[in-house]
Structure 1
Amino acid sequence: MVNSDSPSSPLDSPLTTKFPLSVENFQILQQELNDGAESMATPGTTTSSTCSDSASSDSGTTSNANSQNAIPSTPKKRRSSLKKDFRQTVFENIHYLGCSKIDDPSNEAEMLRLMRFLDEQRTSATVTVSLAVPHSARGIVVLRDSSGGELTSFPVQRIRFCVRGRLDSAQKHCFSISFTHHGTDGEQTHQCHVFRSAQPDTAGRALYCFSQAFSNSGPVCVDGNEKRMDFKFEAYLEIRENEGSHTSPHWVLCPQQSNTLKLRRDRPKRLIVQLKQVSGPPLTVTKCFGMLLAAGRNLRHSDMQLLELESMGPGANPSVYVINAIWDPRVHIFDVLNTETPRDSRVFLTVAADVIIAEAGEPIRFRIEAKARVFHRDERFYKLPRVAVREGYSLTLEVCADEIDCETSVLYAVTCAWNLNWNRKGVLRTFIELWRAIIPFLVLGIDNRIR
């Protein structure tokens, strides 16, 4: 490996050559590469990804760069439509900072150093591209210029590593991918591409899409219908109470015992709902327009009371969307949830979050039911588990049409949404009620036989 502070030649280091400076240079170098390699093999390598928070070195960039071998792609610039496809996620207005040949495609520190250098040296001539990330490991990553022309493409299986810049650094907007290129002579070269997004959340979302593509063999269809796909979500509910003052709040997570939340009356509360997608092509939660609360279960929409939203947005993990709301139980409509309950009784409560998913054509409600017991305001709890309430959901979406207008982002129509935990509880309750109804007849039959 050659130290970039003392390169062997001016073209051997990314510190002296930043690529590409224009779309024209991009095409020229792409043509030169493909003159010597008309076909490419896809290596069966293990794909890995990381969202890096580790410290990057302050030393110079260490890389064995050769800008003449930077882009492994198609020999010509091809015009391609920009129609949105439900099989991929397209990131617009991404700045392509450049790329370099590296010795180890899994060397995170080396990729971070290259990322930092290219980001610090970027100019107004940086190319703006759109990046299309497929939803399965069998898909193709496509890079297009601002006019829609295809610049380069490569299979997901060829990607070796994905890295995001540190969240506490100037490179928090950046991410990079490394992959292996096989030449016709059997020689392997490893290359690292660096991108910069306008918002840090976009960089995290891009890495999340890559990680989903690595783990998905393909979209999950429902009943063999390729247009209907199944998505799984999880929701976590935390209720925190203020043990401090109004000016200096101290929020403490409410404990649970026997799946029952322990609440204290007259204490302001903060409700935190975290939504996480666990399967299916990645969907984008763009907004929560309401969190609702009411006492009871199996409630109608009119029974729910709207809470004051405090904040919303993606969490540290891009696959998680976090919603915060404030609940004042002293309001009279919440009297049932603010009255001390007897020792052997419980009260049910329902929390609902109405969210907008960019790819769906209508809002979706995630509902969480929980049991609670209300104690005195000054009650103290010791050695009790403080965990969140968890619910699982199944969401079935149907593709709107075969040809989707590129001007719209609506790709799916909501077919059905099920609360998995609620269904299981409902089946169990039905079974118990049925068994209780049968028992008297069984007892009567046994009594008649004895007589």
Structure 2
Amino acid sequence: MVNSDSPTTPLDSPLARKNPLTMENFHKFEKASNGTTDSMTAPSATISSTSFNSASLECASKETSTIQNETLKKRRNSAGHKKDYNQTLFENIDYLGCSKLNDPSNEPEMLDLMRVLDEQRMTSAVTVSLAVPHSARGFVVLRDTTGIELTSFPVQRIRFCVRGRLDSAQKHCFSISFTHHGINGEQTHQCHVFRSAQPEMAGRALYCFSQAFSNSGKENMSDNEKRIDYKFEAYLEIRENEGSQSSPHWVLCPQQNNTLKLRRDRQKRLIVQLKQVQLCKVFGPPLTVTKCFGMLLAAGRNLRHSDMQLLELESMGPGANPSVYVINAIWDPRIHVFDVLNTETPRDSRVFLTVAADVIIAEAGEPIRFRLEAKARVFHRDERFYKLPRVALREGYSLTLEV
């Protein structure tokens, strides 16, 4: 055991004298605790210096629950240990070794151990990646250079963290200490030491641990908890001009069996209405559509952007209902790029078409595209339709914004 009141170094501890300080020792020490219960603490972290000059963060330790230790393999695969993958990953970290401590919160003792292990790193260091979760309920994960998990442990098991002094050769290093509670109530403290390639990374690691301690969010917190979901509906109307060029009369195209009935050589107006739907309180507040910078059309479905043809926008803006944004565009099917949609289709044939509206939403960081697909049958220019439903096509959308 390292005695902070004596002049001996941490390497004088029984564990250090018995075994070299390597990753293998890390596993041996963990296995030595097999069959014991671990204290799950609720740490509160503070950083003693914003510049991380001998920075440290201390966890207030109190036992809230116990868990049964298993071997490392069982602990990694146990369904009861659900890891929090909201994490910060530190790669190419040197694991310098571990040793027992008398006091897991003794900063001078941890710094002394850090110095000794750092001086011997050429013979004992193991390169690992260190994943620090964003929640106090998450798990710290160590992996080797091949990505194989070496070990994992709860953030709540950490008692103290410290970084090497900025005016010392250990400014690249940081260490963390744990407290284990044995079967007979005895406590065993250990300190693990790491070295990063850059001093800034050591400070960042310390900061990430501090953030994890201060975030006691829900277990298994997922990215969805940082997002807001919205529901939209888009309505598409295709109207044909039954009047003249100077006196147009726009008539909504009918549908039969979910198939639009279009007439060739007739100028058409496409109307897209966007409406946010508030189905329940879990969805976000109203969004503001500020502009449509393009309505596009093409024959077919599952199209690439390069396949779409830009239409002439006629108008855009809020409708009679301010929650509905209305976009109007003119489509002349006689243009050769629309030949497929302007050719009469055989009786048993159908043609697909895709309409897309690109809009700017004030609360979103990039343009949003609403795409609608439909199938149609093209008739002669003078075809007449009787007693057929004339309704708009409807499509539902889910929009998720990160906050």
TM-score normalised by structure 1 residue count:
0.40
TM-score normalised by structure 2 residue count:
0.45
